Structure 1
């Protein structure tokens, strides 16, 4: 009696216990479904429960080999990354890693963290991403985006442990984001409405947001924890989107400090007052370092700074 060879079916563990579409009928018709040791334990356990699959071991391997006397048509599920996997497969892997770190037997430090203890890291990582983007550093941008993503995964995982119906998980976060993006782009995802320009979409976004959140003021919902220049610029942006003309904005700013007026002036379309302030700070730091370089190793006192400034001015 001739036994057909057993068939290997690659399964991408990043997608969980999901069979490739092309292998569904093959597995359904198989006389035995075997689990290669390369499969992660949670994935193997799910296949065992759903398909009645059994582990492939050295002891039973010969039974299912081509020349063996075991049942014909055995299928072996093997862990193998699919190069054609949909975009986002690595996000599932990242979620799984976060769950492992936070679960019993994971990392003690990760297990102790709370929303409150993680706040400082969210701020730090956001600024580090800003620096990488501003510098045009592609490698650093990729890394820092990952660090910001970690904060999203971490807070979502902490929230998933909430009790009394207050918990939510990363899927809830993603689902709410999808609903928001679709709802605020009816010109893309629905029929009838059209948006001609980016500025039109800017105004339409704010109109939809205001209706959705039922806010009383165009300034409601602005995060107060952001830096002062960014906060004022956001207020100006919100007011401008609501139709407030620049002469009214200038009049309102005239009663404030010179710095406030400068921020309002720089907060026009495409402007970035926070970036301008940061650029000024970087330029200031460069000048300080230039002064320091005039006398390496010297103590920094009033006389040092005055002498250094004079030397730099003489060079100019």
Structure 2
């Protein structure tokens, strides 16, 4: 005789079991299950009448399995404590050879997690936190913004430092922010409400739409053509949203760091073949006097006899020009500045240590 422990995952809809699991359920002499188990209605619909208990008795399960084929439907969490106790009883009976011997014990997996199944757990946890945690309950989209930015920068720092072991945790922190914003949005009762499924559905639709060479009948010769098609599709999407007022600059986040903002604006303008002189004399638009020698001076003016420096706007224009120079050289101005900043950081830390050793 035998004892079968049927394990299922709570991340799959109840009743979606393997054929082997249903066959075992129908052929067992006795099927045991806890009251309230999510699989219970599906068993009854299939004509299986289980023995429903509040809590199983491991000793009784083992004893019954010595006389007949018994199947126990494990709890969605795995019933590890029960399984350990059954294992102990079976081993004890085998060693002592008492009580009629030990039954054959098998763990049968009736359903399995699909890739991405743990995202369902994240949704469930965030729903619980939103209801029961005072801090999580009072958050809004606006109050969460600093955390989203902070977590994104931590991902960047982890990648640049080469700490791939920590990357999983940092990406999880970013994913949590997405889930948090989604649960906040789901509480609204107007047309702006959305759920995490809406977020996932929107990005799936966008990815499919922007990859016709993968999901459609478009043929491409390489990555460059993929990028060109991507830009054309994005332009069509912007035109559909904004109509005649659509701009290639639509969607550029103005709140991003200034160097990356300047680089993105310049890239978008370059794709339009915009005139180069649009980047000249930028201080004039702010009401400052343009500097005729701006392009010739490699650095901001040093203090003169009157102790004054060049205007702040002039510095901004110089930085904008440097971003263009970086693009022409094929480098990322933001990344390059961050790289030399790390060097400076290391030098300062080394100086601090020397000062401590030689005060």
- What's the TM-score once normalised by structure 1's chain length? 0.75
| Separation of aligned partners in 1, 2:41 and 2:139 | 33
CA contact (8 A) 2:259 2:323 kept: yes
**Structure 2 residue 267 is the aligned partner of structure 1 residue 237:** yes
Q: Which residue of 2 aligns with 1:199?
A: 224
CA contact (8 A) 1:219 1:235 kept: yes
- Bigger Rg, which one: 2
Question: Deviations 1:70-102 (Å, cap 9, x if unpaired)?
Answer: xx7755244449796332122222222222222
Q: Where do 5+ consecutive residues of structure 2 fail to align?
A: 45-49, 81-108, 283-316
Question: Residues 185-264 of structure 1: matches in 2 within 5 Å?
Answer: 185-191=211-217, 193-214=218-239, 215=242, 216-240=246-270, 242-244=271-273, 248-249=275-276, 251-256=277-282, 257-264=317-324
**1:259, distance to aligned residue in structure 2 (A):** 1.0
CA contact (8 A) 1:184 1:205 kept: yes
| Separation of aligned partners in 2, 1:140 and 1:59 | 43
Judging changes above 3 Å, is the alpha-carbon distance between structure 1 residues 232 and 87 closer, same or farther for their aligned structure 2 residues? same
**1:217, distance to aligned residue in structure 2 (A):** 0.8
**1:290, distance to aligned residue in structure 2 (A):** 4.4
CA contact (8 A) 1:34 1:55 kept: yes
| Separation of aligned partners in 1, 2:329 and 2:211 | 21
| Separation of aligned partners in 1, 2:25 and 2:355 | 79
Question: Deviations 1:196-219 (Å, cap 9, x if unpaired)?
Answer: 222222221121122123241100
Q: Which residue of 1 aligns with 2:123?
A: 95
Q: Which residue of 1 aligns with 2:333?
A: 273
Q: Where do 5+ consecutive residues of structure 1 fail to align?
A: 300-316
**1:30, distance to aligned residue in structure 2 (A):** 6.4
**1:125, distance to aligned residue in structure 2 (A):** 0.6
Q: How many residues align?
A: 281
Q: Which residue of 2 aligns with 1:58?
A: 56
* Partner-residue secondary structure (3-state), 2:247: coil
Question: Residues 1-316 of structure 1: matches in 2 within 5 Å?
Answer: 5=2, 7-15=4-12, 17=14, 19-23=16-20, 25-26=22-23, 29=26, 34-35=32-33, 44=37, 46-52=38-44, 54-55=52-53, 57-58=55-56, 62=60, 65-66=64-65, 74=71, 76-79=73-76, 80=78, 85-103=113-131, 106-191=132-217, 193-214=218-239, 215=242, 216-240=246-270, 242-244=271-273, 248-249=275-276, 251-256=277-282, 257-267=317-327, 271-296=331-356
**1:109, distance to aligned residue in structure 2 (A):** 1.8
Per chain length, whose mean CA-contact separation is higher, i.e. which structure has more relative contact order (CA < 8 Å, sep 6+)? Answer: 2
- The more displaced of 53-62 and 274-283 is 53-62
* Partner-residue secondary structure (3-state), 1:276: helix
CA contact (8 A) 1:126 1:148 kept: yes
